[in-house]
Structures are given as structure tokens and as C-alpha cells.
Structure 1
Amino acid sequence: MASLAHLPVHAVRFALDVANGRHALSKLVAPLLFLADAALCALVIWKVPYTEIDWVAYMQQVSQIASGERDYTRIRGDTGPLVYPAAHVYIYSALHRVTDGGKDVLLAQQLFGALYMAALALVMACYRKAGVPPYVFPLLILSKRLHSIFMLRCFNDGFAALFLWLAVYCLQRRMWRAGAVAYTLGLGVKMSLLLVLPAVGVVLLLGAGYAAGLRLAALMALVQILLAVPFLAANPWGYLGRAFELSRQFLFRWTVNWRFVGEEVFLSRRFSLALLGLHAVVLVAFLTARWLKLARKPLPRLVVPILLGRSPFTEQEQRAISRDVVTPRFIMTAILSANAVGLLFARSLHYQFYAYLAWSTPFLLWRSGAHPVLQYALWAAQEWAWNVYPSTPASSGVVVGVLAATVGLVWLGTGDGSERVRVAAAKDAAAKR
């Protein structure tokens, strides 16, 4: 009877051990969740009706390119002009060919289901490399909106997200060149990835070194040029103006994040400049007081040599920083926090932007050290808000509120200077799993 009385206690202890990565069965959590999500994806494609938004427009645009048009200013679809870089064109041109000009939507959905599963596999691999415990992993497969973005909408954000996570995966494994190429390919799909460029630059500077970092930056620029050659030859300013249009205006009716401020404020130049200024301030704060701080050099001794065209580190310092600071967890923290800061202060977010947020938030909330109950509560609030259509003042307030809470918690949770201790503990935990 005594043993039966203790059974609930043992069951709770067992569940906690598995959830926190302290049991041999912990290593099965991610594979089982992956298989469950594969079944869920098949069910979504089979049972949930496809909703047309941008797919037809994508197909119309690439069909014009297939017919010989190369001037971006002349390429249009039902939803407007082509406003994505060249890698998007090549990807959707391939989809145009294999789906009979876009008519075989079911095949397209199946391909996007495979895309989703490939991205999920990368995300889970990155999480494991960073030492994230299994209890966080269910949040990676439970998003209704994320499944919709990939399999019910066929948005290009799915490809951009895949390349972003491929870049993180490569950088975590110190494959600097592959990581740089993966990142610039993602940027070639959609300019949204510009938000994480400062963090990618820091990772390459601290991880690969100053000289190697410059070469990798040149490589990323070269890839962008090579992708765009046919369009640059036809109309260079037209291509740059459409594919990387920083001044693009968004309609109030489609915004997910700032609806609660009202249309007059949303459209005002003062509001736009305020967001831009806040973005710059918070990003510089993370850059100087969180990411570069781990190099343990005063900021002037980092910035001045770079401005003078030389490395701020000796060879010995560079090796130590690359080894001890640029860890898998640091790489994920820097890149995903830069992404969250950018999304927080974005002038307008549309529903497809959740592709860059859904898999980032669970890591950032865990990385902040927040209690698991708070992690799940904030994730649930975020998921609810992104599934309200059309957005309301309440839902948009929750979108911004959760993003602000995430950024604030990460700031607080990464400011104690004990990164190396936490990384060592994570490695020990990962080794035990």
C-alpha cells in the first residue's frame, strides 16, 4: 500500500526528469513530436480547405519571367508588382514547372508540407545543439498559424525561414561559409531577413575572425549579385527598388501588430520614425551590452580598430573568443533576439511574418530563464493573437505585448555575465541525453 501511495510522486518525478532531459527517454521526445507533426501535416492537407492569397499572383509573375521579361517594374500579378528578390523567382519558377503552371495546388501543398518538415527538423537540431530541454519542444509543433502559412497559403516566407534556420544550423557547427551562404539565400527570398543581419555579422566577427568575416560578407554580397544578374542587366534600379524597397507603405487594414494605435497614428511619419529610432536604440543596446560584451573588451577597443580596417583581437584572443563565446547557444540567442527586436518595432506585420517568430519565441523565453509556466502562457497568448482574423485592437496589443515581454525577458536573462557557465551546463546536459 505504501508503494501505491508513492506512485503519483514517482510518476511526477519521472515526467519531470523526461521533460528536463534527465532521463534516457528524453532523447525520444523530439523524434516522437516530429512524427506526430508529420501526421498532423498530412491531416491538414487532407482535411483543411486551401485558401488562395498569393499563390496565383506568384505563378502569374514567374510565368512572365518564363516568357522572357526581366524588368522588375513590368512584372505584376493580381496582388500587385513583384516585390521579392531573385531567389524567390527561381524557387517559384521551379514550382511553376512541377505544378503545371500552378494548377496542381495539391502537389504544391504537399511540397510545402515537406518544406515545413525539413525546417522543423533543422529547428529541432538547433534547439538540441543549444541544450534546450525537451519540455520546450511541444511548442514547436502546436502552432495553428504556422501550419497555415506553409501548407494552406504556400507563402514564400516558408523558404526564407528554412534558409534562416539552415544558417543557424551551419553556424552552430562552425561551418561559417555554409552559414553565410544559407543566410544570403534566405535574404534572396525575402528582405525580412535583413532584421538579423547585425547579429549574423557579430557571429561571423567573433567566430570566424575579422579578416574571414570580411571575406564572408563579400561572399554574401556576391551571391546576391549573381542571383540578380539577369534582372540587374535589364533594369538595375528597378530590381533594387522593387526587391529591396525599404520605404514600402503598408495598409492599415492588413496590420497584425499596431492596429490598437489607430489608423491616423499608424500612417503618420512621426510614428514610423519613432519605431525606427526605438529599433536602432534597442538593437545597439543588445549589440554592445549583450553580444559584444562577451568579448570582454571595452567598446572603443572593438570599434576603433574595425573603423581603421584591422582586427580588434590578437590571434590568441580570437581563438579564445571563438571557442568560449561563440557557442551554439550564443549564436541562437543573438540571431533570434535580433529577429524579435526587429519584429517588435516593425511598422507593420502581416500574418505570414509568424514564420520568423513561431519557432523563435520558445527558445527566447526559455533562454530568458522565465518559469516554464510563464513560457507556456506567453506562447499561448502569442498564438491566440496571431490567429485572430482580422486583427483587433486587443489582438494587436497582445502581439506587441508578447514581443516586448520576450525582448525584455531576454535582456534581463542574458545580463548576468555567466554565459560560459550556462553553456558548460548545457553541454553536460546534452551529453547526458
Structure 2
Amino acid sequence: MASPASLPVRAVRFALDVANGRHALSKLVAPLLFLADAVLCVLVIWKVPYTEIDWVAYMEQVAQVASGERDYTRIRGGTGPLVYPAAHVYIYSALYRITDSGKDVLLAQQLFGVLYMAALALVMACYRKAGAPPYVFPLLILSKRLHSIFMLRCFNDGFAALFLWLTIYCLQRRAWRAGALAYTLGLGVKMSLLLALPAVGVVLLLGAGYATSLQLAALMALVQVLLAVPFLVVNPWGYLGRAFELSRQFLFKWTVNWRFVGEEVFLSRGFLLTLLGLHAVVLVVFLTTRWLKPARKPLPRLVVPILLGKSPFTEQEQRAISRDVVTPHFIMTAILSSNVVGLLFARSLHYQFYAYLAWSTPFLLWRSGVHPVLQFALWAAQEWAWNVYPSTSVSSGVVVGVLAVTVSLVWLGTGVSSERIRAAAAKDAAAKR
């Protein structure tokens, strides 16, 4: 019989075993949290007042499409012109019909509750496939802002986030074509998913091979064209200019991330060019030192053949890289880190952009290898900052600070040592003999 003094020790040991996946009950953590969040979603829809921001504008815009308008430059709503790609129009056109021309907001909220739970199921499946421990999972359901984005605002970012996680889910299971299709459909909802494109390209190159990745790139482009055909035939430049407007002007009053620099700096061209330059530099650093490093080839031997229209790998090298390098946690780490790097250097983040960050940060912090206490502290700081409305110099500083720390920790924690690379190369050489 255990002594009373040993009971707390055993309880702590039991809790740690469950939290770290070392107990049979660890498998129940994700399902129980999922059910708890389902109840929470019901309570949010039932008890928390709906806040109108973009829903009416979405409905006004798709109503014009339903009436026959196909010129993107003429489609407007109460908040301004239509600035999202064609998949957004099709999704909200369906919602327009289902919700009685957008009048049944409660039904829309319930549908977005289902959307949230579907996305959460994908997120949890991706986390489990990547080997994340159970103690990380509570962070996936505790975000106040994330529930608000889906069920109290009905933003299109919920659909884009769903497709982003569906992309990761498919690629983790080596369903390359399905993953590419999911990604391009998400991009067809909102161009924010362009931030993940560099890593998606690397994953397809290393996992599916050079020839297949080119075919999948063509497939993604073709889907974008097919989605946009009704609008392209009327005003192609108007569609491209509005749906993928890279030069869009952002208002200082709505920024969540750069308020602390002041309006004059925020609106300056120099600040924009600095962010673009830093984004490019950090992406190149991740590309060369993290995402492509496990391929065990110098960068010129990777880039030159690609520029010449050839695969940089032999058939045997390709199979080995796809098998040994492109693992579920590599895929998830690369895509989420690419996305977070993009968010760090974005000119302006609005509150709905948290849909792309809230479920990414817990995994990246765990993947960085820092102590769980620091993981939870950084997550809490991030959650606090994104719930300050309107944003302040302090809250925006915390937003940028946590993003910068996350990116730095991921880069530091996911390094591939030269010893490991040499060991893998020796293994390949032995296999050839």
C-alpha cells in the first residue's frame, strides 16, 4: 500500500505520463478536448452576441454576382470592393442561398461552428501524425479570438485556414495531388495562403519529385484559371487586380502588428521595402539551412539543374529523400514556419489573420524544443495581444515580438547537424553498394 506522502508524487508522475503521451490514457486527450470544444462552440453561438463586420458586405457582393455581374471592378459591398478570389465567391454564394440571402445569421453561425470543428479535427489529426505530445493539445481549443473569427464574425479566413490544414493533412499522408488541390482551393479563397507557398513547393519537390511537382504546379494554376473563368472572360485584368492585389493599401487604424512604429513609418515606402527585404532574407535562410539542407546537396547542385529543366536528384536519391526526409513533422514544420515568417513581415495584420496563427504557434513552439513552461508563456502572451481591441503600441509590440521569437526558436531548434547529414549520406552510400 502506498504511503500518503507518495500519493502526490504518483499523481504528478501520472499526469506527466499522460501529458507526454507515455500512458494509455494519452490517446483520450484529443477526443475529450474535441468534445469539450464542441460544447464551447454551442455556448458561444448561444450566449455571445454576434458582431457584424464583413458578413453583410459579403452578402451584398455575392448578390451582385447572383444577379449576373461578372466584372470584378464593379462588385462592391458596404465595406468596399470585392478583393477575394473566385472560390470565395462560390462559397459565400452557397451560404447566400442557404441562409435566405444572408438574413439567417444564426444559421450562418451554426455552419461556421461546423466549419470550426472540421478544421479543429484536421489540426488535431495533423498534430498527432507529426508526433506532438498531448500537453500541447489544450492550446488548440483555448483561443478566444479564434472562436470569434469563426462563429461571431463569419470571416472567409475560416475557410482558407481549413484548406491550409487540409493541405498539410494530405501531404503528411503523401497524397501529393490531393494536397496540391487543397492548397490551390485555399488560395482561391484568400491570397493569404501565398505565405505558405515556398514551403509547399519544397515539400512537393522533395516528396513527389521534380517531374511530379511540375505537374502539380500546373494543376494548381489550372484550377485557379478554371475557378476564375466566368470573371476572366469579362475583365481579366480587373479580376487579377482585385483578387490578387499585391499593392493593396492598408489603413494604420486597423493594424494589429505594427502600431508601435507610428503611422508615418507604417505608411512609408521605406518601411514596406524593409519588410519585403527581411521577408526574402529570412525565407532564403530557412530554405537553404533548414528545408533543403536534409537533401544533402550543395545549393548550386540543386538550383542549377532546376533552372535547366532537370531533376537535381537521381531516381534513387529521390526515393531516399522522399522516404527519410519528407516526414509528417518535416512537412508540418516547413509549411507552418513559412506561414509564420510571412506573418512576421506582413505589412499589416488584421484580427482575422489569427486564423492562420493560432493553431500554428503551439506546434512550432513544441517543435523548437523549448521548455513547456516557455511554450505556454509565449502562447499566453500571443493570445492576450490578439485580444486587445483596438490594438495598442504594447499589444502590437507583443504580437511582433512573439512572432519573432517563434521564428527564431524554430530555426534554432530544427537545425540538422552536419554529423546527422554525413551519417545519412553514409547510409545511402552503403545501400548503393
- Normalising TM by the smaller chain, what interval? over 0.9
Deviations 1:214-238 (A, max 9, x none): 0000000000000000000010000
Q: Within 5 Å, which residues of 2 pair with 1:243-262?
A: 243-262=243-262
Deviations 1:323-353 (A, max 9, x none): 0000000000000000000000000000000
- The corresponding residue for 2:35 is 35
Q: Within 5 Å, which residues of 2 pair with 1:106-145?
A: 106-145=106-145
Deviations 1:247-269 (A, max 9, x none): 00100000000000000000000
Q: Within 5 Å, which residues of 2 pair with 1:328-407?
A: 328-407=328-407
Deviations 1:135-174 (A, max 9, x none): 0000000000000000000000000000000000000000
Deviations 1:108-144 (A, max 9, x none): 0000000000000000000000000000000000000
Amino acid at match of 2:406: T
Equivalent-residue separation in structure 2 for 1:265 and 1:388 (angstroms):
22
Equivalent-residue separation in structure 2 for 1:131 and 1:164 (angstroms):
19
Equivalent-residue separation in structure 2 for 1:100 and 1:411 (angstroms):
49
Amino acid at match of 1:245: E
Amino acid at match of 1:39: V
- The corresponding residue for 2:211 is 211
Equivalent-residue separation in structure 2 for 1:415 and 1:75 (angstroms):
48
Report deviation, 1:416.
3.8
- The corresponding residue for 1:235 is 235
Amino acid at match of 1:152: L
Amino acid at match of 2:12: V
Q: Within 5 Å, which residues of 2 pair with 1:28-67?
A: 28-67=28-67
Equivalent-residue separation in structure 1 for 2:5 and 2:76 (angstroms):
70
- Check whether the contact 2:21–2:134 (CA below 8 A) recurs between aligned residues: yes
- Check whether the contact 1:294–1:417 (CA below 8 A) recurs between aligned residues: no
Extract unaligned runs of 5+ from structure 2.
422-433
- Check whether the contact 2:290–2:416 (CA below 8 A) recurs between aligned residues: no
Equivalent-residue separation in structure 2 for 1:417 and 1:381 (angstroms):
31
Distance change (3 Å), C-alpha of 1:420 and 1:184: farther
Amino acid at match of 1:307: L
- The corresponding residue for 1:312 is 312
- The corresponding residue for 1:322 is 322
Distance change (3 Å), C-alpha of 1:26 and 1:99: same
Equivalent-residue separation in structure 2 for 1:417 and 1:48 (angstroms):
50
Report deviation, 1:5.
1.2
Equivalent-residue separation in structure 2 for 1:294 and 1:60 (angstroms):
50
Distance change (3 Å), C-alpha of 1:37 and 1:2: closer
- The corresponding residue for 1:157 is 157
Report deviation, 1:29.
0.0
Amino acid at match of 1:54: D
- Check whether the contact 1:87–1:189 (CA below 8 A) recurs between aligned residues: yes
Equivalent-residue separation in structure 2 for 1:419 and 1:234 (angstroms):
58
Equivalent-residue separation in structure 1 for 2:70 and 2:213 (angstroms):
33
Report deviation, 1:419.
11
Amino acid at match of 2:198: P
- Check whether the contact 2:293–2:416 (CA below 8 A) recurs between aligned residues: no
Report deviation, 1:4.
1.4
- The corresponding residue for 1:425 is none
- Check whether the contact 1:171–1:331 (CA below 8 A) recurs between aligned residues: yes
- Check whether the contact 1:385–1:395 (CA below 8 A) recurs between aligned residues: yes
Report deviation, 1:3.
1.6
Report deviation, 1:320.
0.1
Give the TM-score taking structure 2 as reference length: 0.96
State the aligned residue count. Answer: 421
DSSP 3-state at the match of 2:233: helix
- Check whether the contact 2:126–2:168 (CA below 8 A) recurs between aligned residues: yes
Deviations 1:7-51 (A, max 9, x none): 000000000000000000000000000000000000000000000
Amino acid at match of 2:202: V
2:249 is the alignment partner of 1:287: no
Report deviation, 1:417.
3.1
- The corresponding residue for 1:424 is none
- The corresponding residue for 1:430 is none
Percent identical among aligned pairs is 89
Deviations 1:252-304 (A, max 9, x none): 00000000000000000000000000000000100111000010111110000
Equivalent-residue separation in structure 1 for 2:329 and 2:159 (angstroms):
23
Q: CA RMSD in A?
A: 1.1
- The corresponding residue for 1:168 is 168
Distance change (3 Å), C-alpha of 1:418 and 1:11: farther
- Check whether the contact 1:325–1:420 (CA below 8 A) recurs between aligned residues: no
Amino acid at match of 1:148: S
Extract unaligned runs of 5+ from structure 1.
422-433
Amino acid at match of 2:215: R
- Check whether the contact 2:207–2:326 (CA below 8 A) recurs between aligned residues: yes
- The corresponding residue for 2:77 is 77
Amino acid at match of 1:49: P
Amino acid at match of 1:378: L
Q: Within 5 Å, which residues of 2 pair with 1:259-274?
A: 259-274=259-274
Amino acid at match of 1:17: D
